[in-house]
Structure 1
Amino acid sequence: MFKRFSSIRFSYIRSHLNGLFLTTVTLLSILLTIYVLIEPAWINVTSIFVFLLLYIVLALILSFYVGFKSSGDMKERLDYLSVLITQFANGNYSSRVYFNEDDEITRIGNELNELGEKLQNQVKSLQRMADEKSDFAKSAHKAAVIEERQRLARDLHDAVSQQLFALTMMSEAAVKQMDKKPELAKEQMQEVAMVALKAQTEMRALLLHLRPVHLSGEPLAVGIRNLIDELKQRSSLEFLLTVDDDLNLSETTEEHVFRIIQESLSNTLRHANATEVKLQLGQRTNELFLHISDNGNGFAIGQDADRKTSYGLKTMKERSEELGGTFSVRSNVGEGTYIDIRIPS
């Protein structure tokens, strides 16, 4: 409520009320001076205060009315500027605002229009650079394959290989206890089942990374549906998929978006312990919108101790920014993870 009284409209009204107060004090001073010094018959204390009371009542009404009306145009123009800045913040750099007046607000609006045009040109430059980078990346594909193999080998050694070794040790221990301590052997076999499930999940995520980065000529919508169908066969996740079929994107944008989705689903498989994943991809006015969320464990933003999860989020953010887009992630422990990406198109 107090914020409302600090708006520009009430600032105008307050300025009129300040003028009313100063005018009232001035009139009162003049009339009292005349009354004291000259003492004319037509003026007395009663007539002075009746006149001032009527003046104050009429002036209050006029102050509120004139202040409200005169600030309306100013407030409306400032609201236009606020909406334009919000559009820029959301990545819609094609928005513009136009005023007929020749004043400071019009100058600010023109400067914001120029800023939007520059940002729009920068986005086009980024996308052009991304196309050039894509061509360069194809020529360096062999080196990337070697690097990816090395990374997968490290992940296999750090996760799956160690889990399989633990399975071997725990299984041997359970066999030795089978006759002597069957209850202990049963507990050890339950631990074996848990470790095996974790190793299976890790392996599915690694197999997801083995898919080709490129779509091999398929449209993005078809590639995503094929990826989801494959994951449905390999996991118990339930997918809620909404993808526009008439996406009009460059080859580079499609490959980046596809890789972002791969990375996100891999993180979900390996770390989220989720049962449901929601994926929305659609092309709005001047932008491509991607939403990915799950009902998994979630994590504390900025305090995630899992280096691999942080690396995956960093990779998705970098790919989004390469296309001139914005990347935002929301998550809390026990409340799932929500990722929103907007890319100008």
Structure 2
Amino acid sequence: MTADSPDAAGNPPPDYNPVVVWSIFNSMRDYICVHRPVFGGNGEIVDCELISWNTAYEKVRTKKVERGQRIVDTYFLPESALAHVNTAWTDGHSYQLFNLNPDDGDRYRPKGAVVAIEVQWQRAGKFVLEIGSDLSEFQQVQNRLQQHEAEVAYSEKAIAIAEDRERIARDLHDSVIQNLFAVSLTIEDIARSTDDPTRDRLAAVRATVTDVISEIRHEIFDVRNAEEESIEDELRSLTMTLSEATGTKVSVDAPVSGISTRLRTNVRAVVREATSNAVRHGNARTISVTAAAEGGILTLCVENNGLPLPAETERASGTLNMAERASLLGGVMTLANTDDGLVRLTWRVPMELEGTA
């Protein structure tokens, strides 16, 4: 039995009711609209007029939908849409995946939203149907899933790095420090059985070994607490040892946050070297340590009231090390006397944010 055949009782088929059919269209999740092609002089479709549409079509548009609207005037990428219209007109059908990134603005969504619409262009006699499935919500879920996966991967990497740091810190404490301590005791034992000049030299060597042990212990503490302390707190803890041992007054003002682990390590090393030099070589009684970030540059400044720098002096290895650290990070270091009688070390390097190194 065909659609035009009478039923079993011999009754004719019911009349076509366009209101019922269109109510079905309006209840559909996919949008449907009908376009009337506008032809150019060469027979190619150059535009389309909107004839009718369902409720879903209005929902994917941010501007009011009106009969007679043209693709050229209202679509975000009219050239692309008309290319599909021409294909559908000649071949009967064309498929389009309309995609916009969150940074793009369009007539479908406000800027910042994700847009993903699967469009079927279908010729129907003298008209072209546009049938679209809005996949934006699905695309947003996919994007959030990818972001979540990236965050998980970053967390796993951070955990692995933290475990490596803890292992290195443990190895340094259990092996390297113990061996250095044994060397220190051996030097002390040898010094007791030698003459005065040699004893003095051995005492200096032993003092150096002791300093190395202290520095390694401090680095172990830094590694284990780097994630918990701000850089300002770290520098205060670092300089407190020097202040308590020598009586030198040290102030720290470094309200900088979020810098990378590599940069934190270099900042600590420079402050440790600069403050130690100020006391040992300059007899400084007050030291000021400041750090600030501006314009993508971290500026570290260490000032002291110790002996002024000679007019011409060969740089010590510690000073060279600080300059080299700056150079390796793409920055510069200067060391000079100031007009107000201070000695100022300025260390400038590009900022590295946490997670970049």
Do they superpose with TM above 0.5? Answer: no
Shorter-chain TM-score range: 0.3 to 0.5
Larger radius of gyration: 2
TM-score by length of 2: 0.38
- Which structure has more helix as a fraction of its residues? 1
Higher normalized contact order (CA 8 Å, seq sep 6+, divided by chain length): 1
Higher strand share: 2
